A and B are shown apart, each in its own frame.
Chain A
Amino acid sequence: MSVTAPTALPARPSGRASAFWHRLRSGDDIAYVITLTCALTILALAVLLVFELFRNSALPREKFGWSFLSGTTWDPVVGQYGALPFIYGTVVTSALALLMGIPLGVGAAIFLAELAPTKISNGLTFLIELLAAVPSVIFGLLGIFVLVPALVAIEPAIRAVLGWTPLFSGPFYGVSLFSAGVVLTVMIIPFIISISREVILAVPTEQREGALALGATKWETTWNVVLPFAKKGIMGSIFLALARSLGETMAVTMVIGNEPKIHESLFAPGYSIAAVIANNFAEASDSLEKGALIELGLVLFGLTIIINGLARVLVLSTTRKGAS
């Protein structure tokens, strides 16, 4: 495999390790093979995971079949299990988290990338990334002891503005789908802000200058030129955030109320798939319950496929060319 090296090369130290690096760096084929293998591991992992989930949920699948998806009872004592309330809770809380998190996150990213002075921007982003490291259980504790009383205090205000919709009706005990949505928002914001900011910063200055030269205001430049350029990266961060909110366990289970029933109101308690698995797996009383929890994991996987698919369709329809 011969390579046409450019004339001016930086000096490299000699030795076998560096010879290997040299071949790697200039060998297209090797690079292709290695990176392809790594990409394939993802597929291998996913297949293996689904296989394991499928295998270990054989018991309840035989017993319930497709009615598992529409069942609304979760009764370990008589061995009756159904997934619908959990599907509902997962979808609602993640939707809430994205609805609140995307504007907040992207807005903050724009501010940090375009308007804030560099040092402040770097410092604040550094700190925001730290939020991603706060363990889920601490968010859960903060949720119970700080967020829930705070929400109880401002609930009358929310009810005054939005109480006419069935979404905000009914009694409010602090723990609810809404509280879980808020906690999830706080947990996904670091991903959105951090990645979006980096991607916005990577937009070449010429693009901005071009727009400004044509007479656009700063906001028009940002909205019409910079953001579309950075769109793919921002979308990527949103998918990451969505994934996190679908799979979050500890924090959610501490503030969602853990009631496996479907209520219209966001003020009512609910339950999510990840939360019920985390709550019950360690103590599951028998193989049927364990199997049912694993089947819920499989259901979540299926749910993620559908939600991701819908999101991609949405993105495709708003992009001029190409898939994300």
Chain B
Amino acid sequence: MTRRVFIVNAALVATLTVGAASAQQVLINAGGATFPYPIYSKWFDEYHKKFSNIAINYASIGSGGGIAQVTAGTVDFGASDGPMTDAAIKEFQDKRGSAILHFPTVLGADVPTYNIPGVTASLNFTGEALAGIFLGKITKWNDPEIANANPGVKLPSNNIVVVHRSDNSGTTYIWTDYLSKASKDWEMKVGRGTGVNWPVGLGGKGNEGVSGSIQQTANSVGYVELAYAIQNKMTYGKVKNAAGEFVQASLASVTAAAAGMKEMPEDFRVSITNPPGKGVYPIASFTWLLIPSKISDPAKKKAIKDFLGWMLADGQKMTEALLYAPLPKAVVTKELKAIDKIQ
């Protein structure tokens, strides 16, 4: 019996150890934000089809994971929905001995989604209304703050059930960043972050958990990513922007939010929630690739720089099909110049 076990084990180990990377194959490991995972996997796949010796392996371990792993050096580059803080950038500098560069790739947006029996229209929300709801100050659907923005819609007097994200995420960062700008009360009491101390509400894990909870619970409201809402045909509301218009999130209104930005800083770390301009959707954000400014392996360096160039040209054409908003032209031009910073 033992002999049989040994033989089978040896055979298994042998077969599973077979296989060697072909010559000149460049394998690059990357990890980070979950939000852009679908478009990134599309890009890396298409790039691999074009240049079959370059394989970029991206795993969605979360924005924080992306920052942590690129700082630890276990991945070649990272990705994050929120820009790195000054402290995190310094930590990278100390640990890896070079700077870390941010490269925006696509735009995403958060939308308010709800389940109110009898209401099928897309409701209008002001910033104050959303802040009030999530603070627990506005407790009924027919509250004047909501009703005044929606003349003609019959809102019930039921209690609002708030649903938010339980896991830390870039989606929460965008949402709380917006609420902090829309309401001083929110900024003081709760603030912005990938995870916050929510005053009220149930926590759902991931977009899945939030939308699942909303579907199952009458009179509920929560926030999910735009791509998610469109893919799952959810009802979502319009939000009032700084110019006073109620705008529905769409790829166009999201790109407009980035274009409406006055000054793009050199390091591309910027928040674009609640920007000025017409037709812009106020709850949007960039998502960034985090690339070290010094890459020692020449093959990997060339591959990454070439990929960035491709991403800013051909890659941008693929975003709309997957419901991501492409970068505005001004940002693309600036980024193409910044690629040279990678030594």
* A binding-site residues for B, Cβ under 8 Å: 21, 73-78, 80, 140-141, 144-145, 148-149, 152, 173-175, 253-254, 257-259, 269, 271, 275, 279-286, 289
Contact = CB atoms under 8 A, between A and B. Distances in A.
Interface string B185-218: 0000011111111000111110011001100110
Which has the most chain A C-beta neighbours within 10 Å: B169, B191, B203?
Answer: B203
16 contacts: A21-B2, A76-B195, A76-B196, A77-B193, A141-B208, A144-B216, A175-B213, A259-B202, A275-B166, A279-B166, A280-B168, A282-B65, A283-B169, A283-B195, A285-B195, A286-B85
B45 interface: no
A279 B193 contact: no
A173 B195 contact: no
Contact of B197 (A74, A254, A271, A282): A74
Given A148-B216, A173-B217, A174-B216, A257 B202 contact: yes
B190 A77 contact: yes
Contacts of A269: 202-203
Interface stretch (B56-64, B238-246, B270-278, B294-302): B56-64
B167 interface: yes
Interface of B: 2, 61-65, 85, 87-88, 161, 166-170, 190-197, 201-205, 208-209, 212-213, 216-217
A253 B217 contact: no
A173 B193 contact: no
A153 to B, nearest CB: 11
Counting from the closest, the 3 A-B pairs by CB-CB distance are A258-B203, A258-B166, A283-B168
Contacts of A21: 2
Nearest to B164: A258
A257 B209 CA distance: 9
B191 A77 contact: yes
B189 to A, nearest CB: 10
Nearest to A78: B191
B213 A173 contact: yes
A237 to B, nearest CB: 27
Contacts, number: 100
Contacts of B213: 144, 173-175
Contacts of B167: 253, 279-280, 283
A88 to B, nearest CB: 16
Contacts of A80: 197
Contacts of B203: 257-259, 269, 271
Which has the most chain A C-beta neighbours within 10 Å: B2, B88, B168, B205?
Answer: B205
A56 to B, nearest CB: 13
Contact of B64 (A73, A145, A259, A284): A284
Given A75-B197, A175-B202, A283-B64, A152 B191 contact: no
Contacts of A76: 168, 193-197
A141 B212 CA distance: 10
A140 B208 CA distance: 11
Contacts of A140: 205
A140 B167 CA distance: 15
Given A174-B213, A174-B217, A283 B205 contact: no
B216 A77 contact: no
A141 B211 CA distance: 12
Contacts of B63: 283
Given A77-B191, A175-B202, A259-B203, A254 B64 contact: no
Contacts of A254: 205, 209
A259 B201 CA distance: 7
Contacts of B88: 286
B217 to A, nearest CB: 5
Contact of A152 (B85, B170, B197, B216): B216
A286 B87 contact: yes
Nearest to A253: B205
Contact of B196 (A77, A275, A284): A77
B205 A282 contact: no
Given A77-B190, A149-B216, A284 B168 contact: yes
Given A76-B196, A285-B168, A144 B209 contact: yes
A279 B198 CA distance: 15
Contacts of B209: 144, 253-254, 258
A140 B85 CA distance: 34
A76 B192 CA distance: 9
A254 B191 CA distance: 25
Nearest to A280: B168
B58 to A, nearest CB: 15
Contacts of A148: 212, 216
Contacts of B166: 253, 258, 271, 275, 279
Given A75-B196, A174-B213, A283-B169, A258 B191 contact: no
